[in-house]
Structure 1
Amino acid sequence: MKPADVCLAVMVAVIWGLGFVASRLALDELSPALMTAMRFAIAAVPCLFVRRPKVPWTVLIAISFTLFLGQFLAQSWAIAHGVPVGLASVIVQSQALFTVAFAAAAFREIPTGMQVAGISVATVGLLMICGTVGFDFSVGAFAVLMISPVSFAIGNLLLRQARDVAMFDLFAWLCLVPPLPLLALAFAVDGPQATWHSLWQMSLTGWASMLFIGAISTCIAYWLWGRLLRDHTVAQVVPFALLVPFVGAAASSVVFGETFGPLRLAGMITVVGGIALMLLSKRAQALPKIA
């Protein structure tokens, strides 16, 4: 990779890490459903200027509901209910573990020995984190958070159905799907009056956080990430995502004074180490078809 592309990859990872902090700030003023709806409403603005990619609506909706709506709604709900931002950033990156496992089940892509070792290490780390659940946030919040990497992983595999399309156009139209169902959910859960009141009473910090999440963390960062994946191999680009939880945890400790006990910190490091083993290993090979 060229130095400029390396800088872009690092910048995207930093943006995504800071996005967890911005989400926490926005959730101080908005409900999870409303915050997520606004995130994608802002990110979908480029749809006014780009054509819909040649992807069936069923595929587009399926990708959007998993890669975006499911992932970010579960993530924001868990953060709003007490899950620390730094921990959430680590758990979301465990999607690599689920992506490899689901690919093996759905496409018969048998993991390499290194990937199996990485899955085992990351699983141990998740179990260590589970041992800290119930002290500063509930088991239910942790369970909802685990929906995020699972949904993320399913969306990764569904993306295979949208090949040979412009990445910016695709992600813009993927962002167009979630706002309406999420707004309907906000009306149903919070009520129309409370929902509109939250919007009118948003502070400058809240609006700045939403613009960062929607325009920069979602729209621009995903577009840059897609360009990097287009121009370079997955093995060259994806490891930079390992920077996200470190940026998220560091920023959370500075902004919110977040601290980690020995067991949770060891679990977080173990999860990231396991993910590193998976991402840095050779790509899995599909089993040959039986005649």
Structure 2
Amino acid sequence: MSFKDKLLALCVVVVWGLNFVVIKIGVEQMPPLLLAALRFVLAACPAIFFIKRPQVPLRWLIAYGMTISFGQFAFLFFAIKLGMPVGLASVMLQAQVFFTILFGVLLLAEKLCWYHILGMLVTVFGMVILATAGLQSDASQVGITPGYVTGGITLTTILCILAAALCWGLGNISNKMIMRDHPTPVMSLVVWSALVPIVPFLACSWLFDGVAVMTASVVNIQLPTVLALFYLAYIATFVGYGIWGYLLSRYETWRVTPLSLLVPVVGMFSGALLLGEKLSPQQMLGALVIIIGLLVNVFGGSLQQRLLQRT
């Protein structure tokens, strides 16, 4: 990978890692479902007038939009709104890797390797550590140590993040089916699928928040929320996916995709630096165990091949 492309890869990692901090800023002043709706309105318009519609059956476009866009971000935004620290959210959301593998085995008859299973078991152990820390926080009603952000790590927020990861996994399977049977440019799929979740988001916001709250949020929108929306819609979506698609088109998948493991690292550091988030030792241990599980899943196959070559 050239030096220029390494810088571009680092740019994507930073952009996507900071995405979680931006979400936190956005949901502080606007209901999460309405924020998500406006994000996809901006992502779709005016881009749909300049990017050709993908030649994809409508059912697959809807499936992709309702999973990777509506499902993932509805649960993610809601969890962060409820107080889930953005650093831990960025780590736990990577459970999508294992959901994608499981759905690939169940729906596409893909092979499950030993390092996939080991990585899943290690990651589940990390989730249990975090869940235990969250339940202890609920029981005490305060942080374990003064100054620690523990109140937002509850069973509800953990389940929301896992639901977001599950939806992301389903979206990955939809994407794989689309690219296999109806190859299409990535940006075309991203832009046109952004139309799908807008109405569901607005309908759910109307149901849970009410028209008065929605109207007040839009009328009284503040600059930080506006900047958050532009970041989510344009920088995280177009810059992030655009560069990522460029890198995938030039290099092998195995060389590019492991870089996404740096996203939760940036997420945790940015949460600590920009939002003052601090984690208890148990929460840090849980996050570390989850990252180890992800590393086993990504690099287990390469390690196995090297061991076989030496023998």
With structure 2 as the length reference, what TM-score do the two structures score?
Answer: 0.87
Note if contact 2:70-2:200 (Cα within 8 Å) is conserved in structure 1. no
Which residue in 1 is equivalent to 2:53?
52
Deviations 1:173-194 (A, max 9, x none): 1112111221122122212222
Q: Report the CA distance between 1:161 and its aligned residue.
A: 2.1
Deviations 1:37-68 (A, max 9, x none): 11111111211211110001100010111111
Quick one: distance in 2 between partners of 1:281 and 1:52?
Answer: 39
Higher mean displacement: 53-62 or 209-218 = 209-218
Q: Report the CA distance between 1:3 and its aligned residue.
A: 2.2
Q: Report the CA distance between 1:230 and its aligned residue.
A: 2.6
Q: Report the CA distance between 1:84 and its aligned residue.
A: 0.8
Q: 2:173 matched to 1:157? A: yes
Quick one: distance in 1 between partners of 2:119 and 2:161?
Answer: 21
With structure 1 as the length reference, what TM-score do the two structures score?
Answer: 0.93
Note if contact 1:47-1:176 (Cα within 8 Å) is conserved in structure 2. no
Which residue in 2 is equivalent to 1:286?
none
Which residue in 2 is equivalent to 1:77?
78
CA radius of gyration, larger in:
2
Q: Describe how 1:1-291 pairs up with structure 2 within 5 A.
A: 1-45=1-45, 46-134=47-135, 135=137, 136-137=151-152, 138-163=154-179, 164-282=183-301
Note if contact 1:122-1:271 (Cα within 8 Å) is conserved in structure 2. yes
Quick one: distance in 2 between partners of 1:219 and 1:181?
Answer: 22
4+ runs deviating over 6 angstroms? none
Q: Report the CA distance between 1:278 and its aligned residue.
A: 1.1
Quick one: distance in 2 between partners of 1:227 and 1:167?
Answer: 10
Sequence identity percentage:
29
RMSD: 1.6
Deviations 1:152-186 (A, max 9, x none): 01110111122221111111111121112211221
Note if contact 2:68-2:168 (Cα within 8 Å) is conserved in structure 1. yes
Q: Report the CA distance between 1:29 and its aligned residue.
A: 0.7
Q: Report the CA distance between 1:113 and its aligned residue.
A: 2.2
- The size of the alignment, in residue pairs, is 284
Partner-residue secondary structure (3-state), 1:281: helix
What letter is aligned with 1:182?
A: F
Quick one: distance in 2 between partners of 1:123 and 1:148?
Answer: 16
What letter is aligned with 2:288?
A: I
Q: Report the CA distance between 1:224 and its aligned residue.
A: 1.9
Partner-residue secondary structure (3-state), 1:93: helix
Q: Report the CA distance between 1:219 and its aligned residue.
A: 2.6
Higher mean displacement: 148-157 or 176-185 = 176-185
Structure 1, unaligned runs of 5 or more: 284-291
Q: Report the CA distance between 1:232 and its aligned residue.
A: 2.1
Quick one: distance in 2 between partners of 1:106 and 1:17?
Answer: 30
Quick one: distance in 2 between partners of 1:108 and 1:234?
Answer: 21
